[in-house]
Structure 1
Amino acid sequence: MGCSGIPTIDISPFLKEGVDEDGKKKIKEVISEACCQYGFFQIANHGVPLDLMMQALELSKTFFEYPDDEKLKASPGSSAPLPAGYSRQPEHSPDKNEYLLMFPPDSNFNIYPQNPPEFRGVLEEIFLHLTKVGILLESILNECLGFPANFLKEYNDDRSWDFMVALRYFPATENENNGILEHEDGNCITFVFQDDVGGLQVRKNNEWIPVTPIPSTIVVNLGDVFQVLSNNKFKSATHRVVRAKGRSRHSYAFFYNLHGEKWVEPLPQFSKDIGEPPKYKKFQFKEYQQLRMRNKTHPPSKPEDVINITHYAITP
C-alpha cells in the first residue's frame, strides 16, 4: 500500500520474460479489489523511463511559462475532432487550466509547439510508452474479469481515438471554487503522472483521499466503459483536482479510448448469463463522447443536468 491511501502495485512480473504466476495472481487480486471498490490505483515498474517522465514535466512547465503569443502558435486546427494543440479554459470555468492536447504521433490532427525545440520528440515518445502501458493494463483487466484470452484486445483494437493532455492548473485564489468538480472519466482507462504539487483526489468509502505524488508511479483511473461492460462490477473512479495556493500544478493525462464507432453495453457474462438485469442501455461510444463534450462547451446551468453515464442507466 502506498502512502497515498490507494494501492501502489509493482507490475514488473507482467513485463519480465520469466514466469511468476504467484506474483501475477497477487497483482490481479489487488487490481480487482481496487476496481470493484473505487476504480483507482497506482502502478510502479511499468516500463516508462522515469527520466522521460521528468523531462516531459519539465518541458511542459517551460512551455506553459511562455508568453501567450508563443503558446498560441500551437492553437488548435479546425479539422480536429477535439481541440488538438494549445487551449485554455474560459475564465468562467471552474477548472482554471491550460493544456496541450495531442493524438497518436502519426495523426494528421496534431499541432506541436515549436518551442522548446525538443518538446515534440518527448511528447511523441511518452505517448508511445503510455500506449504500451494501456495495452498491458487492458490485458491484465481482461484476466481480472475472467474474459477469454485477447477478448478486450479484439474488442478495442483501434488506437486512433487515444489522446494525451499536458495540463497546467493555475494556483488557487481566496475567492473562488479552487478545483475541478468531482466527475468520472468517460473512456476506458486514464493514466496520470503529476509533479510534486499534488491535488488529485479520489472518492473512497465516501471520503476524499489525496493521491500523493510518488516519483516514477502512474495513476490508473478506470472509466465509464469498464463500468458498463462489467455491469457495475468494476467502478468508474470518482475524482477531482483541488488546486493549491501559490503554485501551479503540472500533470499529464493519457486517455485510453474506444474507437467512436464501437457499441458499449453490459456483457452477458455480467448480466443475463448470471441472471442479472443489464443496468445500462446499449450506446455508441462517439455519441457519449459528444454529450460529454457538450458539458464543457455548453455547461448546463444546474449541476444535476450534466451528462454522465447515468444518462444510459436503466431504471429498475
Structure 2
Amino acid sequence: MADSIPTVDLSPFFGEGDEDGKKKAKEVISQACSQHGFFQIQNHGVPLELLNRALELSKTFFGYSDDVKRISSHGSGAPLPAGYNRHPEHSPDKNEYMLMFPPGSGFNVYPQNLPEFKEVLEDVFSHLTKIGSLVENIVNECLGLPPNFLKEYNHDRSSDFMAALRYFPATETENNGITEHEDGNCVTFVFQDQVGGLQVRKNSEWIPVTPAQDTLVVNLGDVIQVLSNNKFKSATHRVVRPEGKSRYSYAFFYNLQGDNWVEPLSKFTKEIGETPKYRGFLYKEYQALRMRNKTHPPAKSEDVIHITHYAITS
C-alpha cells in the first residue's frame, strides 16, 4: 500500500523566527513534489467559516433548476466559459460547475436570487490568490531558484480562475467524476466537503485524499513540471463519484498568462548537463489544445493531448 498524502503546517510562514518549522515544511513539500506533486496544507490563513459557507452556497445554487442555473452564464469573451456550465452528455466527466474569474474582471455572472454568493466567492478568491503567492514562493525555494523568480515570471494574476463543482452520484454502470488527468497550470488548490472521492496516483497506486475540514489540497500542474524539467511532478489525479450522494468542492487554479513562454529552465538543463525533456511553447497554445480535449473529446483516450505533446523523445 502506498503512503498517504502528506499534510504540511504553513503557520511558520505567517510569523517570524521559526526557521526550523519552515525548513521542515519545505523538506516535506520538496519530497511530495518530486514524487507525485500532491500535498495538503493546514494553518493556511483561509478562514474555515468562509470555506464552509462557500460550500453551503454552492449546494444551494446547484439545487436550483437547470433553467435558473443557465441564467448565470454567458460567453463574455472570458478565456473559459464563465458562469454555469455542465459537461456535455458525451463527456466521460459527470459534473456541473460554476466558473469565476478575478473580481472586477467583468467575466463573472452570479445568480440574482443568491446575492451572498458573489461576496463570499470573491472573498474566497482573494484569500486563495494570497495563498497561491505564498505556495509559489515556497516552491521557488524548494527548486533552488533565485528569489522571486517564479513571482516575476508569473506576475499577472488576471488568468487565475476558480470553479465551484458538483459531482453527481455514481450510477450502477458509471462512477467517473473527473477522469484521470493532470492540471495544465502552475498550482491548484482544492477544498472539498466530507464526501470524498478525490484520488492521486502515487507509485502506480490510487491514493484517496481524505477530506479534512482544516486543510486545502495542493497539486502542481504541467507548467512547474516543464520549468523544472521533470524535477517536480505534475500531479495525476481523478475523482471517483460516491454512490447515493453528490460531492461538492472548489478548485482554484493559480494560472499563467497565455503569452508566457514555457520551457525547461537552464538551471535544470544546461547548467547541470541535462538534456531538455520538452520543447518550448506558448502557454495559450497548450491551453487551446487542452480545451479542445473537452469540446471535441477524441474517440481514443490515447489521442487526448497531455503535456507529453511537447516532450522531446530521444
- TM-score if structure 1 supplies the norm length? 0.97
Task: Please tell me whether the aligned partners of residues 76 and 107 of structure 2 are also in contact (alpha carbons under 8 angstroms).
Answer: no
> 1:14 — aligned with what?
13
How far 1:140 sits from its partner (Å)? 0.5
Distance in 1 of aligned mates of 2:239 and 2:93: 9
2:158 equivalent in structure 1: 160
Structure 2 unaligned runs (5+)?
none
Distance 2:83 2:141 in 1: 36
SS of residue paired to 1:290: helix
Q: Helix, strand or coil for the counterpart of 2:253?
A: strand
Structure 2: how far apart are the matches of 1:195 and 1:217?
11
Structure 1 unaligned residues grouped into runs of 5+? none
SS in 1 for 2:229: coil
Q: 1:136 aligns with which of 124, 131, 134?
A: 134
Amino acid at match of 2:266: P
Residue matched to 2:267: 269
Deviations 1:247-271 (A, max 9, x none): 0000000000111000000000000
Supply the AA of the counterpart residue of 2:110: Y
Q: d(CA) in 1 for partners of 2:301 and 2:293?
A: 10
Deviations, residues 95-116 of structure 1 (Å, cap 9, x unaligned)? 1111000000010111122232
Q: Does structure 1 retain, via aligned residues, the 8 Å contact 2:13–2:22?
A: yes
* Equivalent residues of 1:63, 1:115 under 8 A apart: no
* Contact kept? 1:53, 1:216, Cα under 8 Å: no
Report the equivalent of 1:301: 299
How far did 1:7 drift?
A: 0.4
Question: Residue 51 of structure 2: which of 45, 50, 53 is its match?
Answer: 53
Q: Deviations over 1:197-218 (max 9, x none)?
A: 1100000111000000001200
Deviation of 1:237 after TM superposition, in Å, equals 0.3
- Say which SS state the counterpart of residue 160 (structure 1) adopts: helix
Report the count of equivalent residues: 312
- Matches of 2:74 and 2:249 in 1, distance apart? 20
Matched AA of 1:292 = R
The root-mean-square deviation of aligned C-alpha atoms, in Å, is: 1.0
Deviates more, 1:127-136 or 1:178-187: 178-187
- Partner AA of 2:159 in structure 1: W
CA distance in 2 between partners of 1:114 and 1:135 (Å): 32
Q: Would you say the 8 A contact 1:76–1:87 is kept in 2?
A: no
User: Contact 2:97–2:163 at 8 Å: present in 1 too?
Assistant: yes
Give the 5 Å matches for 1:252-263. Answer: 252-263=250-261
Q: How does 1:106-185 map to 2 (within 5 A)?
A: 106-185=104-183
Q: 2-side partners of 1:147 and 1:206: how far apart? A: 30
Q: Out of 205, 208, 232, which is 1:207 matched to? A: 205
Deviations 1:71-103 (A, max 9, x none): 111022242221010011112222111100000
Identity of aligned residues (%): 75
**CA distance, structure 1, for counterparts of residue 67 and residue 311 of structure 2:** 45
Amino acid at match of 1:6: I
The one-character-per-residue Cα deviations of 1:119-165 (angstroms, maximum 9, x if unpaired) are 11001000000000100000001110111111111111000000000
